[in-house]
Amino acid sequence: MRRAAQILAGVIVLAIAGVAIWSLVTYAGLQASLLWTAIIGAAAWAIRSNVEQKREHQKLLAERKQEHYLQFLQFLAKFIGTTDEKPPAQNNKAKQQQTPVPLEEFRMWSLRLTLIGSDEVVREWNNARNGAADPNDPLLVMKNWGRLWLAMRRDCGHIDTNLGITDVLGSFVNDVEKSRGYFDA
């Protein structure tokens, strides 16, 4: 809807400019070629400046997104699939003594995400964060995280990625291939 309004406004501006140029050429006797050259040159400069500014902004945003997503994945790696070389009895005690996930980091990451993430990433983050856990479907949580990681990947420029949820979860879950049909369906 917004795009249609912008196009309509552009057409109206062009129509007004055309009528103004026609009236200047007709009634004031200005040289049409000189006037057209000046107008086209000014329009080309304005369009080029706008396009270059948008490209620079998109480049900076893409770099920021990649940095932010990488920091988040490194943060998650601390809590997902950590293995210790200790015997099982000591390992359970170590897990009980671990500090809980710093929720403040999660909150800050979530706030930054709403500023720089695409709509798809924000939606998938909400799905993953809320868990949408179903006791009858324990793999749903992992599926939601896999969707988030794929959305991040697309947001970083891999729009036509051929990877599936199983492929990205394979970085953290060793036996994920057993459930490929579930995750990539």
What is the reported pLDDT for 185?
A: 67
Q: Indicate if the pLDDT at residue 167 is higher than 60.
A: yes
| Residue 177: partners with Cβ closer than 8 Å, 6 or more residues away | 166, 170
Q: Could you tell me which of 179, 154, 157, 156 has the C-alpha nearest to residue 169?
A: 179
Higher pLDDT, 139 or 96: 139
Q: CA–CA separation, 109 vs 144, rounded Å? A: 17
Whether the CB-CB separation of 61 and 116 falls below 8 Å is answered with: yes
What is the reported pLDDT for 132?
A: 58
**Token pair for 127:** 């799905």
Which sign does the torsion angle of CA 52, 56, 57, 61 carry?
Answer: positive
Whether the CB-CB separation of 116 and 125 falls below 8 Å is answered with: no
What is the reported pLDDT for 39?
A: 77
**CA 164 to the chain's CA centroid:** 17
Q: Per-residue pLDDT tens for 6-60?
A: 888 888 988 888 787 777 777 766 666 677 777 788 888 988 988 999 889 888 8
What is the reported pLDDT for 135?
A: 65
Q: Per-residue pLDDT tens for 132-156?
A: 566 677 788 888 888 888 998 888 8
CA distances from residue 1 to 54, 113, 145 in whole angstroms, order as listed: 21, 25, 32
pTM above 0.75, yes or no: no
Helix, strand counts (H, E) of the chain: 8, 0
CA distances from residue 173 to 61, 125, 140, 148 in whole angstroms, order as listed: 30, 19, 14, 15
Average pLDDT on 101-111 reads 77
